[in-house]
Structures are given as C-alpha cells and as structure tokens.
Structure 1
Amino acid sequence: MFRSRSKDEKASAQQVTADLSKNPRDPEAPKGRPTPKRSEAQTQRRRAQSAPMDRKEAAKRQREARRADLVRQREALNSGDERFLPARDKGPVRRFARDFVDSRFAVAEFFLPVAVVILVLSLFGNRVPRLQDIALLLWGVLIVLIVLDSIGTWIRLRKQLNTRFPNEPKRGAIPYALMRSLQMRRLRLPKPQVKRGERP
C-alpha cells in the first residue's frame, strides 16, 4: 500500500509533464466557465487588493473612512455643499427652512446673551433686591416674545413650504427651523447662505 513508485511509473510521469510543458493548453479550447467582463475583473482585482488581512486592519480602515467622512461633513457645513451634509440637513425643504430663518431677525437668537445678563443680575440680587425683580421681569418678557415670534415663524414658514413644495415631504422642517432660530447667527451650522432681508 505504501510502496515506492517503480522506475517505469516515474519515467511515464516525467514524460507526461514534459509533454504538457512543450504543448501548452489550446487557447481555443473551452475552459468550463465564461470569460469575465473587464469591469468585473477589475472590480474583483480591486476587492482582492482592498480586502483587509485581519480584524485590526479592517477596523483601522473603517476608522480612516469615518474620519474622512467627518472632515467632508465639516467642510460641507461651512460651505453649504449639499452632497456631504448630514442627513438631517439635506434636501430642498430643509435648505429653504434654513434660508427662511437666516433671512430675518428672530427674538429667539438673543436668548443666550439675554440669559447671561439675567444670570449676572440674579447673582447680585441678594445685595440689591430690585435687580432680582428686574431679572425675573426681563426673563418673563423674553419668554413671551420668543413664544409669539416662534408662532409667527411657524405659520409663515408652513404657508411658504406648502406653496413652494406641495409634493415634497415636509415632516420635521418647522421644528428644525425653530431650533435653528434659537442659535446665534454666527454659530449656526450649516453656515447661513443668505443675508438678512434677502428673500430665500
């Protein structure tokens, strides 16, 4: 069973190998599978080259891809490039909502500066009781003005969206615009693309 091959068998095997090397396979002979298209072959080659060798390599490539996406996203937030914006900022409806808010003054954008002033006034309220009353009054007036202004923005924006985008999905566009109006203009992302007073 485990006997060594005889000299005759070795000689015949060498003869067959020599014949095969002298006479290569006929290119016209069928090979049992269709020739792949060039694009498919290139895709397979690229996939073989880019396929990670192990888990560490795969994780590293994933991190690099995520970092590149974040860089592109940050640049898009500054430039307004629609292609690389986050999903929440994409689309003509969201762009119009941003432009609608950026083209006008909103009471809500003064919320943070006034809140800081109110905080400072309330800190000195223990020494001067009158200051605490002024801070509370200012706070109440600001809240009422923000609510009234937000209701007006809601009504006007909804009307404009229904007129301009009758067939587009508008879900979440108005809360998105109101949240944007709470931010100071220079801190808004994506950066404002229209000037104040300019029609969106």
Structure 2
Amino acid sequence: MGLFSTNKDKEAAPEPAATPETPGAGPRAKSVPTPKRRDAEAARRQRLNPQLSPKEAKRRSREQASAERRKEMAAIDNAPGKLLMRNWVDTRFNLAELSMPILMTMLLFVLVLAPVFPTLVEPATYATWGFMVLIGIDITRMWRGFKKLAAERIPREPLKGLLYYGFNRSLSVRRLRVPRPVLKRGDTF
C-alpha cells in the first residue's frame, strides 16, 4: 500500500449500508447559484439595519416618537394625585364643561344681533361676565372639595399643578377628555 498511490485500498473502505431511497433525502441540484460574499454581507446588513427611504424613515420615526410620548403620558397621568383629580372631576357636574358652547353662542349672538339690536349687546356682555364668575365659583368649590379628599386619601402627595390640571379637565367636554373618563357622574370612588 503506497502512501501516494493513485489506487485506493478498496478493501479497507467499508461498504455503505443500503438505505431505502426517500424523496428529498439525497443530494439535490441547487436552484440558485451561491451568492457572492459582498452580496451576502449586504443582504445581512440590510436585515440587521435596513436602509429606509426618507418617507419610510420619517414614518417610523413618527411612530416611535408617538409610542414614546404615549408611554410617558401614561406614566405621568397615573400619578396618584392626577388620578384622584381626574376621578374627582369626572364624577361631578362642572359648569366649566358648558363654557365653550355657551360662550360661543354668546359671541355669535353679539356679533350677529349687534348691528340689528345694539341695545342687546350690553346685557349679553354682562351675561357673559356673569357666567365666567359662576365658572370661577364652581372651580373654587371643586378645588376645596378636592383638597379635603386629597388630605384623606393621599396626605403625603404634593398638590402642585393639580388645580390647573383639574381646571383644564373640567373645561373640556366630557366625551373629548384624554384619558377617557372611567367613572360616571355621581359615582362614588
């Protein structure tokens, strides 16, 4: 037996066991050629860090920023003070909730009827100021009630910024509030 012989030792090689031929089990012809190395690396880079069109990149950036803002707002809105104020405002009738429709009606009334009936402008102006005073009284009552409730439920939480938050929430129409009201008017919580 020669080391560099062209003839192989056929006796030393074991015979392959006869296996039944199963479809798809043997060597198959390739349907596509092997990609070049630079093409394979470029495809891998594209999968890991896709190159986006400017329009697609802006859309993804907007989606990410929106999701992050929603997550931050949820964390802020779930603070104990804000949650209590939100429930307090949602369970009571707020005069400020009617402010936008009433003030817009008064403005339209004054602008449309002023040229025709100039004597009605002065009473309409006084009515508008009177309604704003009533809103101020209602907000004062809302804040005093909330301070008592906060002293019972969350005594160690600071109340800074909650008056403004409550006023803004009571100013908006109930079905347009964000986050949506969980409690109905008159519910106890």
TM-score normalised by length of structure 1 = 0.60
Does residue 1:64 correspond to 2:60, yes or no?
yes
**Once the 2 structures are TM-superposed, how far is the Cα of residue 104 of structure 1 from its aligned partner?**
0.9
CA distance in 2, matches of 1:55, 1:159: 57
Amino acid at match of 2:161: G
**Once the 2 structures are TM-superposed, how far is the Cα of residue 54 of structure 1 from its aligned partner?**
9.6
Q: Which has the higher helix share?
A: 1
| Alpha-carbon contact 1:157-1:174 (below 8 Å) kept | no
Amino acid at match of 1:103: T
Q: CA RMSD in A?
A: 3.3
| Count of aligned residue pairs for this structure pair | 145
Sequence identity (%): 30
Does residue 1:121 correspond to 2:102, yes or no?
no
**Once the 2 structures are TM-superposed, how far is the Cα of residue 152 of structure 1 from its aligned partner?**
0.8
| Alpha-carbon contact 1:109-1:183 (below 8 Å) kept | yes
Q: 2:142 aligns with which of 153, 159, 178?
A: 153
**Once the 2 structures are TM-superposed, how far is the Cα of residue 91 of structure 1 from its aligned partner?**
1.3
Amino acid at match of 1:67: E
| CA separation of 1:161 and 1:91: change in aligned 2, threshold 3 A | same
Runs of 4+ in structure 1 off by over 4 angstroms are: 52-57, 60-63, 71-74
**Structure 1: segments with no counterpart, 5+ residues:** 1-48, 75-82
CA distance in 2, matches of 1:68, 1:56: 15
**Equivalent position SS for 1:159:** helix
Q: Residue 102 of structure 1 aligns with which residue?
A: 90
CA distance in 2, matches of 1:194, 1:68: 31
Q: 1:142 aligns with which of 126, 131, 149?
A: 131
1:152-186 deviation digits (Å, cap 9, x = unpaired): 11111111112100123332122211111111111
Larger Rg: 2
Q: 1:174 aligns with which of 158, 163, 167?
A: 163
1:91-146 deviation digits (Å, cap 9, x = unpaired): 12211101100101111111100111111111111210232123212201111101
CA distance in 2, matches of 1:169, 1:144: 28
1:39-72 deviation digits (Å, cap 9, x = unpaired): xxxxxxxxxx89x869979xx7796265145258
Greater RCO (CA < 8 Å, at least 6 residues apart):
2
**Equivalent position SS for 2:188:** coil
